[in-house]
Chains A and B, each alone.
Chain A
Amino acid sequence: MTLESGRFSASAEKPARGALALIASLALLLPAASAALIAPILAGVEEEDIASQIAGFRAILDEGIGHLSSLDFPEAVESFTRVIDAYKAGKIPMVTPDAHLLVAKAFEGRALGFANQGKNGDASADFESLIRFDPAYTIEMKGISSKIITLYLGVRKKIVGVVTFEGEPIGSEVRLNDQPLGVTPIADKDWIAGSYHLVITHRGFDPYEEEIRVDAGGKLPKRFRLTPNARSVLILTAPRDVKVFVDGQEMGTTFGTAGAIYDPVATKLGLNRSDISEPLLIEYLKPGEHNLTLRKECFGAVTSTLPIKIDPGSNEPTTFEPFVLTPSRGTLDVDSEPSGAQILLDGQSAGTTPATIPGVCAGKHEVSLAKEGLGRSIESVDVGNGDVRKIRAALRLSLAAIDLRTGLHEAEGLAAALKGLKRYNLVTVGNGIPAEAADRVRLEMESSQGRGISDKTLKDLFQSLKVELIALAVPGSSLGDQTEFQLYSPSHSVPDRWSFDTSGAEGMRRVLFALEADLAVESAWSGLKLIDVYGRSHPVVLGVTMGSPAAVGGVVAGDLLVSVGTTPIQKASDLLPVLRKAAPGDDAVLTVESAGKVHDVKMKYLSTPVLLSMKDSAILYNKQIADIRQVAATASEASKRSFAWMNIGVAFMHFGRYEEAIREAFKRAELPEGAGISKGTVRYLVAICYEKLGLSNDARTAYLDASASATATLGSHDGPLLAPSARRRAAALGSQPKS
């Protein structure tokens, strides 16, 4: 429905018909207009107020129409007058089309009211007001008496002229006294007679201005030709789908296939026409030189200059020879630590590491590497044409952080505390963790009263979130401002639990430090066992481990260790930081006092595994399980893998998971017999597990087996010999040790 479809219809003979027509048109038009049209127009205005105001005046208009239909013309005139007076007093908000129509109908209705009472002067005045209010508005002539029509047309002829605007370019905008008249061509358009300032404009052309006069009852035909001040161009590319930038601004993308007209050009360029796009029109570039850049993924960018000249004679768009883009690709050489990771190149599967991926489009790419249980890595790479870009990624484990505490500011939450976590990929609620998953954890934690989450939920979470660790912040004891930090690994369902007061400045940040910490499970090994003896200015060598660097260097029990390199050693503990700083393979010079003589011993540190403490409140054992699993999966040396499995077993023991410790860890720790951490160490640990499981006979047997390893140690290669303990434990379990 359009506004033009609502027509007033009334006549002296059949006033009721005209009134009913007006009623029908308003009843249908106005609600529709208020719903469909008001909303976009009334930006910033109180819609309800305006709509109710207009509804009020529409009721008055309806009242006037009712009087017209009842042939109560004076009453009708009175009602219409109330609307018109309100309009003249500025009380009707003329911000909507139906308000405009409301006023037009009021003038039309009152004119009919006056005409039906024989008051032609008043009727003429209202017709004139109506025409001046909206020259385009025409009354519905069907069913109206010829007298009234004649009266109306007479008034119209006295104040309206006809204008016509034609010229080039078509589509120029015409304004009279800054009021829009329309877009050319404009033919025979009624306009109120008078003098006007004509302005004709079109993009790419200079505006045309003139003072004109429209005569009442006359016709004003106007022809024009605007002067161009810019010129369009046509850009073709081979291939298509190329983004076109002019002076840095994106102008569009080439498309389609060039027509047959371009066959010669295609031949000249050695191309198939089907490779060439349709011309892309870029309109109205100002005269001068413009920078053209063409971009398409996997192709080298093309830059050129577009010279623009105005041709006043024929300013048709300039067509340039097709621009040809050449393919631009490189190669990715991807490997990861550990290898065997699945590669996703921009989200698409691209094999497993190590891999060489040829034909990678030049440009920026995201390479995602993931290996289940061993971590993931996301790398950004910018490939140039012909480049071979190497990606060597160390897979990082991922950690999901969920804070179950309520009433916290975002900055106080676990995710904020772990912001900047380097060791793991951090996954948080809303950033990798769906809100439903967090809700599920919350509900389960509430129902278990903080004890933990079920095996099934844990399994689901680890699978769906694709993480190796899940960290929870749980409200702690109600007697204090406590938070419990829980850390889960996929290996089992028992979490590490840390309870602490979060009211201090450090708060949850201590969790970050603990997660970042790198617990040493391997250390530089000298083989020196030192003791402090009162009255000695340096520690005394209590013993040297067989086969150790110090033993090979000739250090013997009773020697004094004077210094290591430039570090003086005054007490046994002074050696610890030296060893912490050193790495296996580093050279060292020990200055030793032996039988009163000082000499240097040159040696190279070897490596000793360091057994985890089974119960250390500073250690997050699930973190250790996750971290050391990586080592177990990636170490190239069998002994390192075995040491790693041994420590995973110790971490299982920490959680009281003795069966898993034996089955999943210690069985994989295949160490040889020998001194230090060796097969005997594993046997001893297995024996403890059996003992904890109540399997006394198995424990006793395992202890006795361990006791046979006379030089095996606990702790590290320099740790205590385990044989005496193993014998003692076997004896305590009811058997005599092997002789």
Chain B
Amino acid sequence: MNTRAFVTAVVLAAAASTLASAAGSAESSDLAKRTFQNAEQLMHEGKTDQALKAYQQIIQSFSESSLVDDALLRVGSFHYPTLKIAELGSVSAAEQEAARPSFELIRDRHPQSDSAPEAFYKLGLLGLEPDSARKNLDEAYASFYSVVNVYPESDWVPSALLGAGEAEFEKRNYDRAILSLERSLEGAPHGPVAAESNYLLGLANVRMGDFVRAAEVFQACRIEDEKSSTASRALNWITLVYKLRLIPAAGAAVDYTPDSGFVPRLPAGEDFRGEIGLAVSPAAEILVADPRRAGLFVFAEDGTKIRNEPMEGARRVAVDAMEKIVVASETEIRIGAEGFPAGRKAGTSVRRIEAPAGVWRSSAGQTFILDTKEGEFLVFGADPTDPKVVNRDKDAGTRLEMMAAGPEDRIFLFDTRQKQILVLENGKVRVFKAQATPPVIEDPVDMAVDALGDLYVADARQKSIFIIGPDGKKLGRIAPPAGTAAELTDPAALAVGPKGEVYVYDARKRTILRFR
């Protein structure tokens, strides 16, 4: 908790104890109003510390004033300005905790005030905050539905229904998420949160398997605000759903064509060599973990290099459930900007994981690491030195060499000993059983999962990429004819972009190819 947040919390605690005692009068009401106006002016002028003091003066000294709830809301919103689901994660945990008492005071002591719906809504958002230790989807849902049920005429209702939909979505109650989201849109089909509601409704319909409806609402999202990043992501989803669900549903084959225009632009004379890790961010940035160059290289969708982040021995890269970049090297694991010193306790010291073949963090905050050196598939909680073994090769008779994760925290593993695909679901590893005839994988070298949960396997011997649906059925195969520029001579790494575009690192060609 930072100093300002601490002061706020103390003052709010004091305010709570004096709320009942302050006397109200016309004179004090007028003084409170002037103090409030002064605070507003100070805030407007950017003198935030003084403004906060003025608001707190109202809370403490004019407890009977009708402006107390406004002052509390201003203080809370100063610390926690988040208003949209898309803005979750942008406020530090300390600031979140500084804001929370203000909203709770409004909820508990001023439920009739016009600030109450917003306070409930903000408490709902706080319950959704991804990095918060107090993240609680049930409490978030309850706060959002308080807005809906207690203040049905409030302008916050559509936003609250969106929040409730988000809470249900995260709990994978997609049907209930759809219920809330449709209510949000029913009230305000073109309101301020219509684009976000349609987007999330699209995701929920994807998870429910209603791909036509999903495409429809993703398109509705685009119509609402075509220039927004949400609209751009909706376009990715439509493209993915169309290519991998609607076209096959119509009986047509999934086609891929090489994108000859795409070339990752390295400095003159440089190329990729040897082993690299490959991933694509939701923003379609191509992430390359290159141990030879000791860093993470980031390319834009058109192949231009955006940046590189030095990291000794960087071997694997992934984008986790919270869309943070996870990089694993021989010496460290980095999640976002923070290091994750994963290892095993050995006496008083910690033995680091030296050969991470895959790393991923789930939506519940667990970090999974495939350690091929020890032949263990591990999961870490909050303590980076106290993993649990999910699968041990020597016990299970497996040799897990590859992993790839996707939606709903589904993690695919490739057992090269049994030449079978395993999947981790609900904490247990099981064999991925296909409901239809699966493709025969001969020499798997890498795997990737797209946003729909389809598994992509690169097969070096067959010089192909196989696309396998969640039911195990082969959806498609990328196998450019021999002798063409797009031929996969030595596929060594694989990634899938948000639009379903496939990136393949060809170690022999020393470049990355793209197929759409």
CA distance A728 to B236 in the complex (A): 28
Interface residue ranges of A647-665 to B (CB < 8 Å): 656
Proximity bits, B188-229, A CB within 8 Å = 1, else 0: 111100000000000000000010110111110011001000
Which residues of the other chain, B, contact A542 by a CB distance below 8 angstroms? 212, 215-216, 219, 246
Which residues of the other chain, B, contact A615 by a CB distance below 8 angstroms? 157-158, 187-188, 191
Query: Is B187 in contact with A728, judged by CB distance below 8 angstroms?
Result: no
Proximity bits, A614-625, B CB within 8 Å = 1, else 0: 111100000000
Nearest chain B CB to A230 CB, angstrom units:
81
Known contacts A614-B187, A724-B210, A732-B179; A531/B223 CB under 8 A: no
Query: Is A535 in contact with B250, judged by CB distance below 8 angstroms?
Result: no
Which residues of the other chain, B, contact A573 by a CB distance below 8 angstroms? 222-223, 226
CA distance A540 to B226 in the complex (A): 17
Query: Is A534 in contact with B226, judged by CB distance below 8 angstroms?
Result: no
CA distance A542 to B213 in the complex (A): 10
Query: Is B235 in contact with A728, judged by CB distance below 8 angstroms?
Result: no
Nearest chain A CB to B36 CB, angstrom units:
8
Proximity bits, B160-203, A CB within 8 Å = 1, else 0: 00000000000000011011001000111111000000000000
A149 close to B (CB within 8 Å): no
Contact of B178 among A531, A616, A728 (CB under 8 A): A728
Which residues of the other chain, B, contact A729 by a CB distance below 8 angstroms? 179
CA distance A616 to B194 in the complex (A): 11
Query: Is A572 in contact with B216, judged by CB distance below 8 angstroms?
Result: no
B153 close to A (CB within 8 Å): yes
Known contacts A543-B212, A616-B188; A572/B222 CB under 8 A: yes
Which residues of the other chain, A, contact B235 by a CB distance below 8 angstroms? 532, 534
Which residues of the other chain, A, contact B178 by a CB distance below 8 angstroms? 725, 728
Nearest chain B CB to A498 CB, angstrom units:
13
Proximity bits, B234-256, A CB within 8 Å = 1, else 0: 01101100110011001010000
A195 close to B (CB within 8 Å): no
Query: Is B189 in contact with A534, judged by CB distance below 8 angstroms?
Result: no
Which residues of the other chain, B, contact A543 by a CB distance below 8 angstroms? 212
Query: Is A533 in contact with B179, judged by CB distance below 8 angstroms?
Result: no
CA distance A714 to B155 in the complex (A): 22
Nearest chain A CB to B62 CB, angstrom units:
15
Query: Is A688 in contact with B188, judged by CB distance below 8 angstroms?
Result: no
CA distance A573 to B33 in the complex (A): 48
Query: Is B250 in contact with A616, judged by CB distance below 8 angstroms?
Result: no
Which residues of the other chain, A, contact B155 by a CB distance below 8 angstroms? 617
Contact of A728 among B158, B179, B190, B226 (CB under 8 A): B179
Which residues of the other chain, A, contact B239 by a CB distance below 8 angstroms? 533-535
Contact of A656 among B152, B212, B219, B247 (CB under 8 A): B152
B516 close to A (CB within 8 Å): yes
> With contacts defined as CB atoms under 8 Å apart, how many contacts are there between chain A and chain B in the complex?
90
CA distance A571 to B499 in the complex (A): 17
B90 close to A (CB within 8 Å): no
B37 close to A (CB within 8 Å): yes
**Interface size (B, Cβ < 8 Å)?**
43
Interface residue ranges of A704-738 to B (CB < 8 Å): 714-715, 720-721, 724-725, 728-729, 731-732
Query: Is B219 in contact with A614, judged by CB distance below 8 angstroms?
Result: no
Query: Is B238 in contact with A613, judged by CB distance below 8 angstroms?
Result: no
Nearest chain A CB to B360 CB, angstrom units:
26
Which residues of the other chain, A, contact B191 by a CB distance below 8 angstroms? 613, 615-617
Which residues of the other chain, B, contact A534 by a CB distance below 8 angstroms? 235-236, 238-239, 499
Nearest chain A CB to B388 CB, angstrom units:
38
Q: Which of A532, A542, A543, A692 gathers most chain B CB within 10 Å?
A: A532
Nearest chain B CB to A38 CB, angstrom units:
59
Query: Which residue of B has the minimal Cβ distance to A611?
Result: B189
Which residues of the other chain, A, contact B247 by a CB distance below 8 angstroms? 558
CA distance A558 to B215 in the complex (A): 13
A557 close to B (CB within 8 Å): yes
Nearest chain A CB to B319 CB, angstrom units:
19
Query: Which residue of B has the minimal Cβ distance to A543?
Result: B212
A576 close to B (CB within 8 Å): yes
CA distance A725 to B208 in the complex (A): 13
Which residues of the other chain, A, contact B212 by a CB distance below 8 angstroms? 542-543
CA distance A523 to B105 in the complex (A): 49
Q: Which of A571, A615, A732 gathers most chain B CB within 10 Å?
A: A615
Query: Is B223 in contact with A688, judged by CB distance below 8 angstroms?
Result: no
Which residues of the other chain, B, contact A509 by a CB distance below 8 angstroms? none
Proximity bits, B68-97, A CB within 8 Å = 1, else 0: 000000000000000000000000000000
CA distance A197 to B218 in the complex (A): 109
Query: Is A616 in contact with B242, judged by CB distance below 8 angstroms?
Result: no
A479 close to B (CB within 8 Å): yes
Query: Which residue of B has the minimal Cβ distance to A573?
Result: B223
CA distance A567 to B102 in the complex (A): 55
Nearest chain B CB to A359 CB, angstrom units:
56
Contact of A532 among B152, B217, B238 (CB under 8 A): B238
A603 close to B (CB within 8 Å): no
CA distance A268 to B8 in the complex (A): 111
Query: Which residue of A has the minimal Cβ distance to B194?
Result: A613
Query: Which residue of B has the minimal Cβ distance to A614?
Result: B187
Query: Which residue of A has the minimal Cβ distance to B213?
Result: A720
A529 close to B (CB within 8 Å): yes
Contact of A533 among B40, B226, B238, B250 (CB under 8 A): B238
Which residues of the other chain, A, contact B223 by a CB distance below 8 angstroms? 572-573, 576
A-B pairs with beta carbons under 8 Å apart, 9 shown: A531-B215, A532-B238, A535-B499, A542-B216, A542-B219, A557-B246, A558-B250, A573-B226, A728-B178
Interface residues of A (CB under 8 A from B): 478-479, 529-535, 540, 542-543, 557-558, 571-573, 576, 613-617, 656, 688, 692, 714-715, 720-721, 724-725, 728-729, 731-732
5 closest cross-chain pairs (CB), A and B: A534-B239, A615-B187, A615-B188, A531-B219, A534-B499
Known: A543-B212, A616-B191. 5 other contacts (CB 8 A): A533-B242, A534-B239, A542-B215, A542-B219, A720-B217
